[in-house]
Chain A
Amino acid sequence: MDISEPVKEKGFAEGQHVVLRPVLEDDLAALAGLMAENPLDPLPWTQQRLKKKFEDKDEPGLWGKSSRHFTIVRTTGEVVGYLKESDDSNRGMHWNELHIKTGLDDREALGVDTLAAYLAYKQKWHNPLRVSFDILRPEEEKAAWLEETGFELELVQERVLFYRGQPEARCLYTWFSEELLNAPAWPEE
């Protein structure tokens, strides 16, 4: 092994630039800042609050039965974002939140790479019927990443959150499986 080479991160989902892996305690300081940036979360996250959640006895490691957090890291190790994945009680339905650190020069490339890697991971291991991401309407960059990776705007819920003093809409972008797209309408005509 050439020890001059940087260690390449491994994760559940691997893209060209990033990998997604479960949250480690060392990630918490960076993640608290990233969560506080995410306009979908109306409450400010602090490292202390996040550590308490990380140590929760029912869902340790921000990895619960119904929702799980992934840290998004560059292949070289820098924490650049997070993805929160939630499941429905019905099979194959997942909805998520994603945030990539603002101000990065390559934020768009990281966002697109994250979404493509995550979707490939879900298709490889979980046979999803539908995968959705919520964003706030002003997050135009995220909307563009989602559209580029095959997600469609499905539902706009107007005036659901305050953002910079204004009531804003939450937009749901969804990727649909062929199984769902080809399913007969119910009840069948």
Chain B
Amino acid sequence: MQTIYTGGRVRLRPFRGAEEYTGIDNQLMELPSEYWGPHWRPLGERVAEYESTGVQDPGTYSAYAIERLDTGQLIGIEEHGSIRPGVLWTWLGTHLLEQHRRQGFGTEAKQLMLCSLFESYPLETVYAITVANHEPALRGLERSGFRHVGEKRGMFIARGQPVDEIYYVITREEWERLPMRQHVTRG
């Protein structure tokens, strides 16, 4: 059974079909990130991915639609990495269309994803990774309850120069103390 997590402003839900998934993914890829640079995956690869698992495969990768509650618009993708026996961590990531950024939707989407992950799997930690110069992402992670744990020096090349990757974590205990847990609707 798939639990849908709803907060005060956004909802995380599975994609309704390959067209919806690839549609938002296309829009996001048309906006090369100033920090991460351009990304592209052929349409056929993404359709095959959806048809294989509905992009809901905890063993490898899962992605959820971020839907605004006030307008019903699909505004981005919330994703997490693999969950495997004996492994106590995974990662999450948030991708929002430009016009919906800096309004708190990403922060809530991350917190809903944390609820889904910690309530569904025996995880101890969830990590998030960004690049050193990505100030909006750093602030968003801290607002979501993550704390900084360290860097990997020069792990990413941007505009020909090495940039550090920054690691953030939230533990199960830290997530349990987040007030927003009490305001989430499940189901």
Contact = CB atoms under 8 A, between A and B. Distances in A.
Interface string B85-106: 1111100000000000000000
A interface SS class: strand
A158 B169 contact: yes
Interface of B: 84-89, 124-125, 127, 132-133, 149-159, 161-163, 167, 169, 171
Interface of A: 42-43, 88, 90-91, 93, 129-130, 132, 154-162, 167, 172, 174, 176, 180, 183-184, 186-187
A151 B161 CA distance: 22
Give the one of B88, B89, B149, B162 with max A CB within 10 A: B162
B interface SS class: strand
A159 B127 CA distance: 11
B125 A91 contact: no
Contacts of B124: 159-160, 167
B125 A160 contact: yes
Contacts of B88: 159-162, 167
A183 B154 contact: yes
16 contacts: A43-B85, A88-B155, A90-B156, A129-B162, A130-B153, A130-B154, A130-B155, A132-B152, A156-B149, A157-B125, A157-B127, A158-B169, A158-B171, A160-B89, A161-B86, A183-B162
Contacts, number: 78
A176 B171 contact: no
B81 to A, nearest CB: 12
Contacts of B162: 129, 180, 183, 186
Contacts of A129: 154, 162
A184 B158 CA distance: 12
A183 B87 CA distance: 35
Closest 4 CB pairs of A and B: A42-B86, A159-B124, A186-B161, A160-B89
A75 to B, nearest CB: 35
Given A154-B153, A155-B151, A176-B154, 12 more contacts: A42-B86, A42-B87, A43-B85, A130-B154, A155-B150, A157-B149, A157-B169, A158-B125, A160-B124, A161-B86, A162-B88, A176-B153
Nearest to B159: A186
Nearest to B131: A186
A161 B127 contact: no
B125 to A, nearest CB: 5
A132 B155 CA distance: 11
A176 B169 CA distance: 25
B84 A42 contact: yes
Contact of A42 (B85, B158, B161): B85
Contacts of B85: 42-43
Nearest to A163: B86
A103 to B, nearest CB: 24
A140 B89 CA distance: 22
Contacts of B169: 157-158
A146 B159 CA distance: 32
B149 A158 contact: yes
Contacts of A155: 149-152, 167
